[in-house]
Amino acid sequence: MNLSIELIDVKWQKIFTIPQGTVLQKGRKGPFYKELIDASCRINDRFGVYAWGKDEKNIYYCGSFSKDYTSGKFKSNFHGRIAQYMGNHDGDTNKMVFDYINIALKSEDVNLFLLQYVSANLNGSILLATGCQDAGLIKLIERLLIYTNKTKGQVQWNRS
């Protein structure tokens, strides 16, 4: 048996920049909260992979939105995921990334990126482009990106 996955024309699309010197506040308030949320609301992909970083070559954290947040009060699944970083610190990951963003903001801008690609080839089958409808495939792409970026000394905020 052979298994393969290939993403064609991969790039990180910048969604929003939080300027250096900003101090994020927990909750749905504070500087740039509305602008960050507005930017996340414009992403209508059902599922996807995102990153926080300095730029496209310096990615600090890679994650995915593969949960249905639109059944709640969120305009898109991406909006729901980003709002969790700002307001829900019950889980370890949200608080950890939020804290790391604030530390990085002391010395540099921090950008939010969305993974874009033309198509995915899984075992010879061409699949949908970015915005895939399959949460499992998105989780696979997320894990692949974390692994490959860790080998390059990136995604330091990812625990595994």
Q: What is the pLDDT of residue 128?
A: 58
Question: What's the CATH code of the domain at 97?
Answer: 3.40.1440
> Measured between alpha carbons, how far is residue 105 from residues 24, 111, 160 in Å?
9, 10, 23
> Which among 64, 65, 52 is positioned nearest to 17, based on CA atoms?
52
Which stretches of the chain score pLDDT less than 50?
130
Tell me how many domains the chain contains.
1
Q: Is residue 156 part of a domain?
A: no
Q: What is the pLDDT of residue 39?
A: 95
Question: For residue 51, what are the domain limits?
Answer: 5-150
Q: What is the pLDDT of residue 126?
A: 65
Q: What is the pLDDT of residue 16?
A: 97
Can you say how many angstroms the Cα of residue 107 is from the centroid of all Cα atoms in its chain? 21
Dihedrals phi, psi of 113, to nearest 5 degrees: -120, 155
> Measured between alpha carbons, how far is residue 94 from residues 57, 83, 85, 88, 144 in Å?
23, 10, 5, 7, 21
Task: Residue 159: count other Cβ atoms within 10 Å of its Cβ.
Answer: 10
For 123-137, the DSSP string reads TTEEE--SS-S-HHH
Q: Is residue 16 part of a domain?
A: yes
Give every strand in the sheet of 58-65, ordered side by side. Answer: 11-18, 110-116, 48-55, 58-65
User: Cα angle at 74 between 63 and 155, to 5 degrees?
Assistant: 10
Q: What is the pLDDT of residue 127?
A: 65
Assign 3-class secondary structure to 53-68: EEECCEEEEEEEECCC
Dihedrals phi, psi of 63, to nearest 5 degrees: -145, 180
Q: Is residue 87 part of a domain?
A: yes
Q: Is residue 127 part of a domain?
A: yes
Q: Is residue 160 part of a domain?
A: no
- Per residue in 55-64, pLDDT tens? 999 999 999 9
Q: What is the pLDDT of residue 68?
A: 86
Q: Is residue 159 part of a domain?
A: no
Q: Is residue 85 part of a domain?
A: yes
Q: Is residue 67 part of a domain?
A: yes
